Amino acid sequence: MDKKLIKVHLALFTVNLIYAINYVVASKIMKDNYIQPFAIILLRVWGATLLFWLLRRLVIREKVQKISDYFRFAYCALFGVIINQLLFFKGLSMTVPIDASIILTSSPIVVLMVSVLIAKEKLTILKTVGILFGATGAVMLIGGGDFSFKGENTFGNLLVFINASSYGIYLVVVKPLMRRYQAYTVISWVFLFGCIGVFPFGIKEFLEVNWSAMPLWVYLTLAFIVVGVTYLAYLLNAWALQFVNSTMVGFYIYLQPVLTSIIAVLAAQDEVTPKKILFSLLIFAGIFLVSRESSVEVKVGKEDEKPETLETAQK
């Protein structure tokens, strides 16, 4: 396997490991009512943006090439930060976690559909079968045959579906920007525009937070949400998008229930069963099938870059 592709897989694995841990640690803050959902969103977006721009000023000072790209950054922020984060928390408060988890498995399917329709990505048998394997394994691992969608959760489920679709669209529309700029440049501008969008929704709840009443573990959890779940996860996803297609990046969401189950087992909150092993293997099989074509894409990209460099040197 190509060394660059191995790094991409490690990056995407790390992102979804962070998200899996987040399900465990962040839920306790919500249950204990130390801070409201929209306040968390404001904190994580503004906190991550501050980190992006502080380090960008120190390390990377890449300039935006065209005025129209600012509109593209704002467009990506709308789908990847504003709608994605606001609707997920709001939807989760109006439905049950099992419904939300199952609906989120639609995100890779949305990525594939949007990639085919907008980015003109080829719909191949390997990708289709891989997506089906991953979706089946994830849904069964999350709920098996015990889940049911109830009428009172309909609106909340709709918001979660829009959230999943929004992030799927973001992974596709941000890809062209990754071809022109470094990942850090793109994600810095996307989050800067995201700050503007989440501010009116989160400022009220943020000002209501009683910071002095919070124990140390809440501050540490919030720091993990800002630095890990937001800053690092978005950056690694953006970096991975420079080398593989959007479908590959989106597909890794299916790994989250596997990692969450492993964490629960290690914390003695769950147990290993033959069915869980089978469903997990189905997800890994899907990752293998989708990555088979991503490896070709990376190699082709590398081969294409070399002649251009030589030609430039000769000129």
Q: Where are the domains of the chain?
A: 3-314
pLDDT of res. 215: 92
Three-state SS for 209? coil
Rounded CA separation 167/83 (Å): 8
Looking at residue 166, its amino acid is: S
The CA–CA distances, whole Å, from 262 to 3, 59, 259 equal 27, 37, 5
Burial 115-129, CB ≥16 within 10 A → b, else e: beeebebeeeeebee
Cα 247 to chain center, whole Å?
Answer: 12
Looking at residue 146, its amino acid is: D
Give 91's contacts (C-beta < 8 A, 6+ positions apart).
100, 156, 157, 158, 159, 160, 162, 163
Cα 73 to chain center, whole Å?
Answer: 17
pLDDT of res. 149: 53
pLDDT of res. 77: 96
Please say whether the beta carbons of 8 and 243 come within 8 A: yes
Work out the number of other CB atoms within 10 angstroms of the CB of residue 165: 22
**What does pLDDT average to in each consecutive run of 10 residues of the chain (315 residues)?**
81 87 71 83 94 84 89 94 84 66 71 75 76 74 55 73 85 88 92 96 93 91 92 91 82 75 66 72 74 50 36 34
